[in-house]
Structure 1
């Protein structure tokens, strides 16, 4: 559904909800309680017993270097409100 031309704005919203400006490594993430997304909303961050949660998603891999920043892999798709 999101790939249909009439839903382009929704797709952009979902994708940019997964992006935080700047390079934020895992060592920095665990010190945060929230982060502002490029989409404009906040992600809630919680660390419990070594697990890091971003909203309802568990971080399963950290600090994957990319040409345009760093990626932290999560186990589900985040949806903006």
Structure 2
């Protein structure tokens, strides 16, 4: 799971957030773009991965310098019961 931190939402224009709130299909598309199937450790996450939404996200760099598309890593590799979470500094938008 690629999870934008709270501050990341401040960079999304209010009109865009309002539009997503009214369009459940587009909101689902954005949310599922932040999910890669499986549990990938920090050693496995670099590269291109298909998201649940269907587009590919590019993950580059390593350690604290990791990028998810253009979003920078804030904290990563957090294991939960059913996911490995990577917190990023931006809300990512799927490519059309």
TM-score for both structures, normalised by structure 1: 0.84
Alpha-carbon offset, residue 33 of structure 1:
1.9
Runs of 4+ in structure 1 over 3 Å off: none
C-alpha separation in 2, matches of 1:63 and 1:48: 12
Higher percent of residues as strand: 1
Structure 1 unpaired stretches of 5+: none
Q: TM-score of the superposition, structure 2-length normalised?
A: 0.72
**Structure 2 unaligned blocks of 5 or more:** 1-17
1: CA distance, partners of 2:77 / 2:63: 19
Q: Over the residues paired in the alignment, what is the CA RMSD in angstroms?
A: 1.6
Greater RCO, CA 8 A, separation 6+: 2
- Higher helix fraction (1 or 2): 2
Q: Does residue 1:18 correspond to 2:18, yes or no?
A: no
